[in-house]
Amino acid sequence: MEPPQPKSYIIYDDEEEQGPSTAEIIANQSQDYVDEKLAEYQMTIIQLQEEQERVQKKTFVNWINSYLSKRVPPLRINDLILDLRDGTKLLALLEVLSGERLV
């Protein structure tokens, strides 16, 4: 027969670094989750703002074209910024809206 083996005991040293606590791990994971969701929400907001701006520009271009089509000869704009930049089509729009010749 073999002699009985001595029992082994684990001795914990409270002064030894044990790493982050469970609460700290959960807090860090929670913050990572919050940061990830915040980034997703911010990206969604940016996309919605861009879509809203695109729709507003398209609506305004359609509104302008509806009035410029009443002019003789009719005019049309395709790009809100480029087509109104020199002021000629903007002046034509104002003439149609006011019913007066402005030049």
pLDDT, tens digit, 9 for 90 and up, residues 28-44: 888 888 899 999 999 99
Phi-psi region of 96 (alpha: psi -120 to 50; beta: other; left: phi over 0): alpha
Task: Convert the pLDDT of each residue in 39-95 to its tens digit.
Answer: 999 999 999 999 999 999 999 999 999 999 999 999 999 999 999 999 999 999 999
DSSP line for 18-51: --S-HHHHHHHHHHHHHHHHHHHHHHHHHHHHHH
The pTM is what? 0.63
Poorest-confidence range of 1-10, 33-42, 91-100?
1-10
CB 78 within 8 A of CB 64: no
